[in-house]
Each structure stands twice: as structure tokens, then as C-alpha cells.
Amino acid sequence: MSSPRSSSRPHGRPTPEAHRVSATSREPSSARDSGSTPHPAKRSTITAWALWDMGSAAFNAIMTTFVFTVYLTSKSFGDTDHASATLSAGLTIAGVLIAALAPVTGQRADVGGRRTLWLGINTYATAALMAACFFVAPDPSFLLLGMGLICAANVVNEFAVVNYNALLPELSTPASVGRISGFGWACGYFGGIIALGIVLVAFIGLGSDTGMLGIPAEGAYNVRSVALFAAAWCAVLSTPLLIAMRRRDAARLHSHPLQDAGGKRESLAASYRRLWGTLKRLYRTSPQTLYFLVASAVFRDGLAGIFTFGGVLAAGTFGFATTDVIIFAIVGNIVAGLGALLGGKLDDALGPKRVIIASLIGILLAAAPLLVFRSPVAFWICGLALCAFVGPAQSASRTYLAQLTPAGQEGEIFGLYSTTGRATSFLAPTLFTLFVSLLGAQIWGIVGIMAVIALGLVLTLPLSPAPAAPNRALQEQTVAG
């Protein structure tokens, strides 16, 4: 999503990597000021930051996982295989666009000092696209419309996430970055659970054709209305952060009146040239950052695979009914959220690298028994253990990168974080399918996911503890000076 920071560092001398990152932070840049904070973030601002994650969870939990994409690939839209293939093709296109554009959009927000503006634009664009899904009627002629809306929402939502993640170094201190990151992840999990629970009770219904609101199932109006609820959930819970950050932006401009708040807009080609220059500079001066982007992309794909194929394995191998899968998903997300909260505290105490390594080892140990014990009880025990380790690994990954990122380059670096994640997103699905095909049973797909996690673990081991505690302080002093 490190060693103990600042005075809690066990030995006060920064690592050589710290000097390398600090060297990049000394470069004069108008973007540098955008990374400085006018004052420490208030608790209300941090809460607003976490509420954004809670709001955006509606898109992931409702629209792309449990409800709307299930509706979009149902028999209402014709042949289910064709519908699934159409959606998959659309998501692939969306992934390519994200990989190509995320670093540049983050970079342009950094340079223009307009991170809050673009966070708001992309957040509300995501909400608008979700709301438009109400018009996707249960008819094959609406399949392309539904696919287009979901895929476009994927793109703008990812752009919003880039700017959201880039706020973490600004809102946290060296002593609190792990705890705040974990708090955000946990709120995201809990937000998805609450939103999904409301949808099941109020719109879909448990054991009936309609929910408590009485919206008719005929014409799929109950499912289509879920899109309006998800849009409202996202927009309402995201607004407090946008208000809070506008106030901080105003305070920053007051403290730095000569800061370029927009300046001359550079061309897209110039942005890509700047991005290439950043990659070369990272290779020369901060190879650890570049290496971590690659290593984290691998294990993050393994973490995604746990949730992607968990329900498939529960139903296909362990005999779970559909309602059992949903119940397990809700409980699993609760456990993952609690794990993220605990992991955030351990992150601040032990450093994100140790949390990542411990979590990846824990995942491998929790998954292995499923290859031998194939009862529903075994799946509940091992599956929940897996969820408990996923949250801390995700949160600590974000924390590690936040500590390595020079002030003023947060959007660009977190854009690269999104890009590398998309670039490796084929690993877990490919290896899952490969082991199922080679060994002739669905259960062996677990080996494929374990292989991705193990590779990510091996790639993470050589990393040094994140040196950003002294770095961030030096960067702030450089900006102030």
C-alpha cells in the first residue's frame, strides 16, 4: 500500500538509500511545494480521508464484484459466455488505458498543484457513471452500454485512487503513516460490507424477489436501482475529504503565495517525456523505489487473486451455496479490515517491510492446508486466516511506497504504482488456470496463487527498510527553505 521512523529509528544514521532519495528531493521544482503541508493534518481530515475509501468501496463491492457485473453477465443479456467475454474484453481495454495514463495523470496533478481538483473530478465522474448504469435494461441490446459504463468507471476510479493514495504522505507523519494507511484500508473494507448489506436487505432481498424498499424485480429495477445507491454512497462519503483538502490547499497557497497553482499546461507528449525522465532518475538515484514497484506488483496480484478465486473455490471445491459464499465474503472482509487496522499499528512499530514479509509468509502457511483438508470447516478456518493477512500486506505496501516518495512527486509515483499493478495482473489468473489444467482439479489452482505470492516474497526480501522517516523531514525543510 520500514523501519521505525524519526526518533524511534533504532540507529539514527539514514541508510545509503536515504541519501539517494534525499538527493532527488533537493532538485528545484515548483511541484515540490505541492508536497509540503501547511500544518499537520487534523483528526477530522484523516477521518475524511478514510471516509473517501469507504465511499469508493461501493464501486468495488457492488458494481464490479457482487452485484452489477453479475447482473451484466446473466442470461438477461443473452448467452452468458458471450456476455462474460464482452465484459472481460472491455476490462482489458480499461486496464491498458489505466496502465498507459495513470502515471501521467498523477504527474500532471503534481505539477499543476491541482490534486484535489482532479480527485474531485474523477470521484464524481465515477459516481455519475455508476448512476448511469440504472439505464442498462435487462436486454442484450444494452450489453455494450453496460460494459462501456463499467469500464469507463474503472478508468476514472483508478485515476481518483492515484490522487487519493498520493495524499497519504501529506496527511501523515513519519510516526503515523502506517496507522493511517491501515485505517483507510479498514474503512474501505467495512464500507464495502455495510454498502453490500444495505443492498441485500433493501434492494435485492433475502429469500424474496424484492427488498425492504419494495422495488420490483420486473425489469430488474431493483438491481438497476442499486447503481443509484452506489453512486450516492460514493459521492456523499467522498465529499468531506474534498472539502477538507480545499481548505488545506487554501492554507498552503497562503503560506506559499508565489506557488504556481496551475501555470502553463504542458502537452501530453511533454508529460510522457517527463515520465521517462522520472523513470531514468529513479533508476539512477532511487533504484529501491523502482524495484519495489515491480516486487509489489507481483505480490499485489497474488493478493487480488485470493479474493478473485476465493468464491470460485468455495463453491466449486468446498460445496458452498451462493448464500454461503456471500456470508463468507462479508465475514472475510470484516477480518481483512481488522487485520488492516492491526497491521497499520505494527507497521508503525516494526516497519512496513517486516509487515509485508510476515503477511506473505502467513498467507502461504494458511493456504497450504487447503490442499489436504477439503471440508467447508477447513475453508472457513484457512480462508479467514488468509483474509487476516491480506489487509496488512495491502496497507503496508502503500505505506512503504509513501515513505520512499519524494515530496511533490506523489501523484506520479502512485500512478506508476497503479501501472505496474495492471502490468502484472495476468499472473494469478494465468497460473491458477495452468495448475487446474495440468493437475485436473480446481483445488490445484491454489498452487498457482501461492506461486505468485511466493515470487513476490522472494522479490521483497532484498529490499532495505524504507528510509523515508529522515527523508520526509528533510524534504519538508527543503521546501520550507
Interval 38-70: pLDDT, tens: 456 788 999 999 999 999 999 988 888 778 887
Give me the pLDDT at residue 477, please: 39
**What span, in angstroms and rounded, lies between the C-alpha atoms of 410 and 118?**
14
**What span, in angstroms and rounded, lies between the C-alpha atoms of 167 and 165?**
5
CA-nearest of 163, 127, 138, 11 to 73 is 138
Give me the pLDDT at residue 55, please: 96
Pick the residue with more confidence: 48 or 403? Answer: 48
Question: 34-48 burial, b if ≥16 CB within 10 A, otherwise e?
Answer: bbbbbeebeeebbeb
Give me the pLDDT at residue 308, please: 65
Q: What is the DSSP string of 46-102?
A: HHHHHHHHHHHHHIIIIIIIISHHHHHTSGGGS-HHHHHHHHHHHHHHHHHHHHHHH
Cβ 288 vs Cβ 16: under 8 Å? no
Burial group, residue 267, by CB count within 10 angstroms (0-12, 13-18, 19+): exposed
- Residue range 256-262: mean pLDDT, rounded: 43
Q: Which residue has the cell 443479456?
A: 77
Side-chain half-sphere exposure of 296, counting CA atoms within 13 A: 27
Give the highest mean pLDDT range of 135-149, 346-360, 410-424: 135-149
Phi first, then psi, for residue 289 (nearest 5°) are: -65, -45
Please report, rounded to a whole number, the percentage of residues in the chain having pLDDT higher than 90.
25
Residue 3 carries which DSSP code?
A: P
Q: Does residue 36 register a pLDDT over 60?
A: no
Helix 143-166 vs helix 80-112: crossing angle, to nearest 10: 30
Q: What is the DSSP string of 226-270?
A: HHHHHHHHHHHHHHHHHHHHHHHHHHHHHH-TTS-SS-SPPPHHH
CA-nearest of 481, 473, 391, 479 to 172 is 473
Give me the pLDDT at residue 410, please: 76
Q: Does residue 20 register a pLDDT over 80?
A: no
**What span, in angstroms and rounded, lies between the C-alpha atoms of 204 and 390?**
29
Give me the pLDDT at residue 365, please: 95
Q: Does residue 238 register a pLDDT over 60?
A: yes
Average pLDDT, whole number, for the chain? 78
Predicted TM-score (pTM) of this structure: 0.73
Give the pLDDT band of residue 113 (cuts 50, 70, 90). low
How big is the chain by its Cα radius of gyration, in Å? 22
**What span, in angstroms and rounded, lies between the C-alpha atoms of 329 and 307?**
9
Give the highest mean pLDDT range of 176-190, 249-263, 300-314: 176-190
Please report, rounded to a whole number, the percentage of residues in the chain having pLDDT higher than 70.
79
- Residue range 212-241: mean pLDDT, rounded: 94
Give the pLDDT band of residue 260 (cuts 50, 70, 90). very low
Cβ 470 vs Cβ 23: under 8 Å? no
Pick the residue with more confidence: 317 or 367? Answer: 367
Q: Per mean pLDDT, which range of 102-116, 141-155, 163-177 is the poorest?
A: 102-116
| Interval 119-159: pLDDT, tens | 999 999 999 999 999 999 999 999 999 999 999 998 999 88
Q: Does residue 21 register a pLDDT over 90?
A: no
Contact residues for 81 (Cβ-Cβ < 8 A; gap 6+): none
